[in-house]
Amino acid sequence: MDASSSPSSSSPSPTYPTDDEPLHSKRESNNNQNNVTTPSLFVDRSPLDQHVHSRHSSPATSPSPPSSPNTRARPRILASSYRFTSNTRFIISMLVLVSFASLAVILDSFTNHQRDVSGCQEIYMRPTYIRQTGFDSEMTRFAGKYALYLYREKDVDLSDQPTGIPVLFVPGHAGSYKQVRAIAAEAAFHYYHLYAQHPEIHEQGMRNLDFFTVDFHEEFSALHGQSLLEQAEYLNDAIDYILKIYKSDNYPDPASVMIIGHSMGGVVAKTMFMLNNYQPGTINTIITLSTPHVLPPAPFDWKISKIYDDLHQFWIDGYNLREDTTTTTARSLRDVTMISIAGGTLDNTVCSDSANVGAFLPSSHGFTVFTTAIPRVWTGMDHLEILSCKQLVHVLVKAMLDIVDARRSSQVKSVSERMSIMKRAFLSGLEDRGSEPISLGSLMYFDHVTYLDIDERLVIQGEQSIKGNHVTLLPAFGSNSDAFAILTDQALDEARGRFSLYLCNRHDGHSGVACKSADTLVAPVPASTPNDQYPFSGNTFSFASIEFGQMDGHGWIGIADNGDSNGFLIAEPFSTTDNSYRVDQSMSSIAMLGAHVQVNASLFTRIHIPAIENPMLAYHLTLTRECNDLGLFAPFLRQSISTMHESKFYVNVGNGPTDFTLHGRTAFSSMTISTADVDHQGFLLQMWMDPTTCQEPIQVDIAIDWYGSAGRLGFRNGIMLASFTFIIVILVLAGQIECYNRTGVFPHFGQGLGFYIRRILPVIMVAVGLCSIYQSSIYDGHDFGLDIAWEHVLDGNTDPFFWWLPLAGLIVSSGTVCFLWVVVDRLLLLCAYVLSGTFGTQRVLTWSSHPTETKQQRFQRRAITTFILFILVATCIPYQFVFVVAFLVHTVNCIRSLVRSWSSPSRVNRYHYMQSLLLLFVTLLPFNLPILVVWIRNLSVHWFVPFSSDHNVFAIAPFILYVELLTGHRKMLPRHEGVWRWATRGLFCMVVAYAFLYGIKYAHSLYFLANHIMAWFLVLHVRDSHYGRMAWRYLANHIWHPFLSKKHS
């Protein structure tokens, strides 16, 4: 329908002036009183300032000047691009269907596909928690909110007083102080049953561990930055108290503590260093379990996002200072080591990609490791299981006891000694040694020697060994080989194993050889036999690999056999070039065709695929071999990734498919792999197979598991849905306001969605797609000089393969907004029908009204109410609470506006506008409800001290004032043109641009963007008021026009 034609389907109906419409609409309505046949929807194309005819005169008696346009009211017609046609309804239905299907696939994939199997065993304990009553309000201002306890294991710890090395446990988000029990109980058993009986160990500084734990009353620290700061301040005070209660006559008093932080407790531990009450040197070792170091799990609070940014920069600066620097930052971090342990795929609470500390911590002071890589653990763990898994707790406790040295005031060994112990305990031993020297044992001699030929393989099985002082030598030289691989199902250990590994040289003047033990080269790997289904079965193999050039001048590898038991050993020389395969396919090629490589039969093989690095994809791996002889062991695999110490074993691999996933660089991480380290970039697959039974090559096929990848994509990009939903509502609202300014008709939200889908969405998708392509291209070496930190914008993705991810997020979010509108619209309609039928229409319309109240009295009452709300926000309640109240009030206003629109069609515009604002408020609830929950939680534990970060009156004032304006005066957004119209357009464009760029990483900023929009709406209302027009004319006549005249003159 042409915009100038009249409506064809609507019957004529009179319109009346109401308080729902702006001033110019009242004038139009009064004119229509004299022309009752005029349709209720009409458009006036004349400028707004030309509606100057009198309220009381009719067109017949008030002729217009000859030069003026016709002042007769023209019909309001909705532009064709806003019409809610059957095509629009079909597109919206399809978007909702696609959105629901996508979310259902993501949920099913995340919960049921590509999941690791947990092999954790339980720990039994008899806990006792002794509250430290001496740590009271005289020592900390949070004594009434938090509490400190000392753990004691019944029948093991015989004293209720601390007697060993202090360790402080920090629970995470909604965590309990009792979660320390598994680690503390295992430490007590380990020390008193294994170490306490040996006096010489006691003289070397070994002591038991005293575990202190903090009761935060299960506070939601992941949702609220101020709570996190309060916890960190309390812990610094607690450390000061703990160190004061230790008194020793024989050794120095403790001057520092070790910290174990679970989940957000690890972030709290890092934050302690930045606070004023931290005393340098009081923390020396931090072990974090499932801690999100890189990104906050829920970035809805501005304070927690700022804490993360400050922490990142603080720790980088702390380790980048010179050795002779004496600043507090350097003293705080110079002797601190940090180990981050992640649970992997089973952790549904914290994405393990975010556990990486490599972006701010040098390798000399810490590392990240996954539980699937820790020797003899080899299993994934969920977020809580990581605290009580027996295999991990045993390794963790032993490592902590090994770094203890009570002879030092720090209570622990030096940084280098601590890191050496931690690496032996937590790393797989299969990492690239590089130029690191090999630690060898003492020199010993063998008289009986068997020499193998060059490139000859050694196979020992069962009772085929030669016993006695005998060693078999394999030459470390040859025409085709440059390395050795040794695998056995026995302990490859000089002290307690059947086989021993040596590096040897011929002894001058004697027939024997001189050897040094090379047990440090040996790494445990999970056993792979037909009886082993998972790597955590409890059985192990021993594996060693060394290149000839790393043998420190030794010319032979020696294998000694004690012949104590049955078993096998295979030692094979190999060429690192021939046994290493590199798949140089792009990610796009792998997605379409898969990766395929054929490898020769060999004991140890490496396959390197640089393109597979992004953690958002899951894969299927298939091994195909013509012969199925079992041999001495079944084939097994190890996957690893270079960005973190993540490795995962797959044992007893047959011809069927094997699912695998990986972790790596998270979104919004600026840590990239150096081009000089390109050989170690990407995915590494190591394979072990028995080369003695089958000489046929093996086919390795890798394909993307798209369905299994859906859950990983959703888990890592969930914030995108909340951010894009807000942006889409803003775009729809902007389109509605534009239509209203042009035609005088405010379309309902569905019509606005139709306009968004037809006109706005294609443009936005092109713009976002180009930005995403550029964002990924700068990491391929194509930076076009734009001064933007592109790793911090959009979805934070720097992988060119995932340039389409924001576009998919837009489609899913668009369907979500469509569904949200349908739900809100139906709920409002249902509430209106129910309330009208129950109480009557008149009662609904007069709720909270005072019929006898004058305008001045109403204004005074509402002003006092608003002022009281401001006072409460500034003193005792968070502004998020007031936002929720404003949301509820606005919901009631929407229902009343809907009921009014039934009796007066001229009020439909206002209802459409109110409903759009309500949808905007709904998208802002996720940014306010978490803080409100934290506040209510504090009230439940009788903590009434207000948050210092959530009492900004300006953060809520525009919302309060605007809702109050809409409630008390039944106002409608004024139509505007000229500079005001362009200013509104510019504001919405800037809001949308900023929200797209930074709304995912800094999601809390979306609330403040909406706050600015509400403030601008208030400005428009003030400008349209009587006093506002007077002020505008004064400024124009006395400032603007004289300035222009002076400029031209």
Count of other CB atoms within 10 angstroms of residue 977: 12
The answer to whether residues 146 and 214 touch, using CB atoms and an 8 Å cutoff, is yes
Find where tokens 């936005």 sit.
764
Residues contacting 1027, CB < 8 A, separation 6+: none
Count of other CB atoms within 10 angstroms of residue 645: 23
Tell me the chain's radius of gyration from C-alpha atoms.
36
Q: Mark whether 469 and 388 lie in a shared domain.
A: no
pLDDT at 269 over 60: yes
- Which residues, listed in sequence order, are joined to residue 258 by a DSSP beta bridge? 167, 285
Q: Mark whether 410 and 450 lie in a shared domain.
A: no
How many angstroms separate the CA atoms of 396 and 426, rounded? 8
Mean pLDDT value of segment 342-358: 92
Strand segments, DSSP code E, in 447-539 are: 448-451, 458-461, 470-475, 483-488, 499-506, 513-517, 522-526
Q: Mark whether 549 and 694 lie in a shared domain.
A: no
pLDDT at 944 over 70: yes
Predicted confidence at residue 52, as pLDDT, reads 36
Among 696, 701, 530, smallest CA distance to 626 is for: 696
Strands 636-641 and 646-650, bridge-based pairing: antiparallel
Tokens of 931: 């803080």
Predicted confidence at residue 779, as pLDDT, reads 57
Tokens of 299: 């970035």
Tell me how many domains the chain contains.
5
Count of other CB atoms within 10 angstroms of residue 986: 10
Mean pLDDT value of segment 116-139: 92
Q: Mark whether 540 and 634 lie in a shared domain.
A: no
Task: Quote the percentage of the chain above a pLDDT of 70.
Answer: 85
pLDDT at 676 over 60: no
Does residue 13 have an active-site annotation? no
Q: Mark whether 690 and 757 lie in a shared domain.
A: no
Predicted confidence at residue 77, as pLDDT, reads 78
- What amino acid is encoded at 681 in this protein? Q
Mean pLDDT value of segment 94-123: 93
CATH number of the domain bearing residue 628: 2.60.120
Mean pLDDT value of segment 894-905: 86
Average pLDDT for the chain: 84
Q: Mark whether 223 and 359 lie in a shared domain.
A: yes
Rounded (10°) angle between helices 761-777 and 979-998: 40
- Which residues, listed in sequence order, are joined to residue 368 by a DSSP beta bridge? 340
Of residues 30 and 327, more confidence is placed in 327
- Whole-model pTM? 0.86
Q: Which of 691, 715, 739 is the last residue of a domain?
A: 715
How many angstroms separate the CA atoms of 191 and 156, rounded? 10
Residue 415 covered by a domain: yes
Q: Ranked by mean pLDDT, which of 71-85, 547-561, 586-600 comes out on top?
A: 586-600
Residue 85 covered by a domain: no
Mean pLDDT value of segment 708-730: 94
How many angstroms separate the CA atoms of 560 and 469, rounded? 8
> Helix (H, G, I), strand (E, B), or coil: what is residue 985?
helix
Predicted confidence at residue 24, as pLDDT, reads 41
Half-sphere exposure of 349 (CA within 13 A, CB side): 20
The DSSP annotation for 830-878 comes to HHHHHHHHHH-HHHHHTTT--TT--HHHHHHHHHHHHHHHHHHHHHTS-
Among 468, 411, 425, 440, smallest CA distance to 281 is for: 411
Sheet of 698-704: strands edge to edge? 595-599, 698-704, 618-624, 657-661
Among 138, 229, 137, smallest CA distance to 947 is for: 229
Local structure of residue 20 (DSSP, 8 states): T
Residue 1040 covered by a domain: no
Predicted confidence at residue 198, as pLDDT, reads 78
Local structure of residue 404 (DSSP, 8 states): B
Of residues 479 and 118, more confidence is placed in 118
pLDDT at 129 over 60: yes
Predicted confidence at residue 905, as pLDDT, reads 75
Mean pLDDT value of segment 262-290: 95
Mean pLDDT value of segment 821-833: 94
pLDDT at 66 over 70: no
Of residues 167 and 968, more confidence is placed in 167
How many angstroms separate the CA atoms of 378 and 525, rounded? 9
> Helix (H, G, I), strand (E, B), or coil: what is residue 676?
helix
Residue 859 covered by a domain: yes
Q: Mark whether 453 and 419 lie in a shared domain.
A: no
Dihedral of alpha carbons 486, 492, 494, 498, sign: negative
Residue 433 covered by a domain: no
pLDDT tens-digit map of 238-257: 999 999 999 876 788 889 99
Q: Which domain holds residue 671?
A: 586-600+610-715
How many angstroms separate the CA atoms of 259 and 214, rounded? 12
Residue 847 burial (10 A CB sphere; 0-12, 13-18, 19+): exposed
Residue 1000 covered by a domain: yes
The DSSP annotation for 324-391 comes to T--SHHHHHHTT-EEEEEE-GGG-SSS-GGGG--TTTS-TTTEEEEETTTSTTT-----TTGGGT-HH
Residue 454 covered by a domain: yes
Predicted confidence at residue 747, as pLDDT, reads 94
pLDDT tens-digit map of 835-863: 887 777 766 666 655 566 677 777 787 78
Among 428, 350, 371, 367, smallest CA distance to 644 is for: 367
- What amino acid is encoded at 365 in this protein? H
- Reported as a pLDDT band with limits 50, 70 and 90, residue 565 is low
How many angstroms separate the CA atoms of 924 and 927, rounded? 6
| 63 alpha-carbon distance from chain centroid | 68
Find where tokens 């590096």 sit.
503
- What amino acid is encoded at 215 in this protein? D
Q: Which of 426, 454, 481 is the last residue of a domain?
A: 426
How many angstroms separate the CA atoms of 18 and 27, rounded? 10
pLDDT tens-digit map of 1009-1027: 999 999 999 999 988 877 6
CATH number of the domain bearing residue 298: 3.40.50.1820
pLDDT at 797 over 80: no
Cα angle, residue 293 at apex, residues 287 and 299 outer, rounded to 5°: 140
- Reported as a pLDDT band with limits 50, 70 and 90, residue 787 is low
Predicted confidence at residue 257, as pLDDT, reads 96
Tokens of 644: 């973190």
Residue 284 covered by a domain: yes
The answer to whether residues 562 and 499 touch, using CB atoms and an 8 Å cutoff, is yes
How many angstroms separate the CA atoms of 86 and 91, rounded? 9
Q: Mark whether 823 and 759 lie in a shared domain.
A: yes
Mean pLDDT value of segment 950-972: 86
Predicted confidence at residue 1035, as pLDDT, reads 72
The answer to whether residues 287 and 341 touch, using CB atoms and an 8 Å cutoff, is yes
Among 651, 386, 682, smallest CA distance to 536 is for: 651
Mean pLDDT value of segment 699-728: 94
Phi then psi for residue 430, to 5 deg, are -100, 10
Mean pLDDT value of segment 200-219: 90
pLDDT at 361 over 50: yes
Which residue is catalytic, options 102, 109, 227, 263?
263
Q: Which of 23, 57, 77 is the last residue of a domain?
A: 77
pLDDT at 782 over 50: no
Mean pLDDT value of segment 494-512: 80
Q: Mark whether 349 and 489 lie in a shared domain.
A: no
The answer to whether residues 16 and 904 touch, using CB atoms and an 8 Å cutoff, is yes
pLDDT at 1006 over 50: yes
Q: Mark whether 944 and 1010 lie in a shared domain.
A: yes
Q: Mark whether 20 and 72 lie in a shared domain.
A: yes
Find where tokens 């043998």 sit.
551
Mean pLDDT value of segment 954-970: 88
Of residues 436 and 826, more confidence is placed in 826
Residues contacting 812, CB < 8 A, separation 6+: 98, 99, 102, 103, 721
Q: Mark whether 727 and 748 lie in a shared domain.
A: yes
Of residues 265 and 159, more confidence is placed in 265
Mean pLDDT value of segment 305-328: 81
Predicted confidence at residue 1048, as pLDDT, reads 59
